[in-house]
Amino acid sequence: MLKMAVFVSGGGTNLQSLIDATQNGSINGEIVLVVSNRKNAYGLERARNASIKAETIKDQDLLIQRLQEENVELIVLAGYLAIIPEKLVQLYPNRILNIHPSLIPAFCGPGFYGIHVHEAVLKRGAKVSGATVHFVNEEVDGGPIVIQEAVDIADLETAEDIQQRVLKIEHRILPKAVQLFCDGKITVEKGRAKII
Ligand code: GRF
């Protein structure tokens, strides 16, 4: 069974969707470690409640050491707000998945994280938004796109309402992408991910 680590910085609702999916068998993989750069991240509490190792790690070398000790094969960034060290990206080529709360390449890159994404979407007057799961490479939000799903937001008036509607999509497509990865159904050719 594939071993994965999940990185969080906040409430961990995306982590919870992964915990639920591994526990109900829809993901053929095991979360062996949850890491946060913030000791008070509620996502760590969610991990402990599910009897999963939960650790606050700020040092990059220790982070890599712990991933190797746990034989991690896939890293999932679920609302992780620290920079991913280039060394880690090199150690895990197309083995780090990230969930971003917009339709990349729109509203992504440096500074576009959390509620800031939805504030920019609202300010621009976009009529649809959505979420993207992509592999992580050395460019912020730049790796091969695995899954995207769009949603109509023309009726919404606040960034918080957009965030909540998009979050529902995130909780669906992130587990789906992880399930596909665990089942060996994602390939990357010439920088483009394909579901086989
Ligand atoms: C999500 O909106 C995710 O797209 C973004 O950060 C938020 C994390 O939410 N990267 P949660 O911690 O999973 O609830």
Q: Both tokens of residue 7?
A: 């990185």
Per-residue pLDDT band for 142 (boundaries 50, 70, 90) equals very high
Write out pLDDT tens, residues 58-115. 999 999 999 999 999 999 999 999 989 999 999 999 999 999 999 999 999 999 999 9
Q: Residue 97: count other Cβ atoms within 10 Å of its Cβ.
A: 26
Query: Which CATH number characterizes residue 38's domain?
Result: 3.40.50.170
Using CA positions, which residue lies closest to atom 3 of ligand 1?
A: 79
Instruction: Report whether 188 contacts 94 (CB < 8 A).
Output: yes
Active site residue 118: no
- Residue written as tokens 């040092």? 59
Catalytic residue among 100, 118, 134, 171: 100
What distance separates the 2 farthest-apart alpha carbons in the chain? 48
What is the pLDDT averaged over residues 108-136?
97
Q: Which residue, chain included where needed, has tokens 């961990």? A: 12
Domain count across the chain:
1
At residue 20, the pLDDT reads: 98
Q: Which residue has the tokens 């609702």?
A: 13
In the Cβ-directed half-sphere of 9, how many Cα atoms lie within 13 Å? Answer: 13
Going from the Cα of 10 to the center of ligand 1, the distance in angstroms, rounded, reads 7
- Alpha-carbon distance of 191 to 183, in angstroms, equals 20
Give the residue numbers spanning the domain of 112. Answer: 2-195
Q: State which amino acid sits at residue 66.
A: R
Given a cut of 90, whether residue 196 has pLDDT beyond it is yes
Residue 194 phi/psi, 5° resolution?
A: -130, 145
Question: Which mutation among 99, 166, 171, 178 tests ligand 1's pocket best, with the greatest number of atoms within 8 A of CB?
Answer: 99
Q: What is the pTM of this model?
A: 0.97
| Cβ neighbours for 10, distance < 8 A, ≥ 6 positions apart | 38, 41, 42, 43, 79, 81, 114
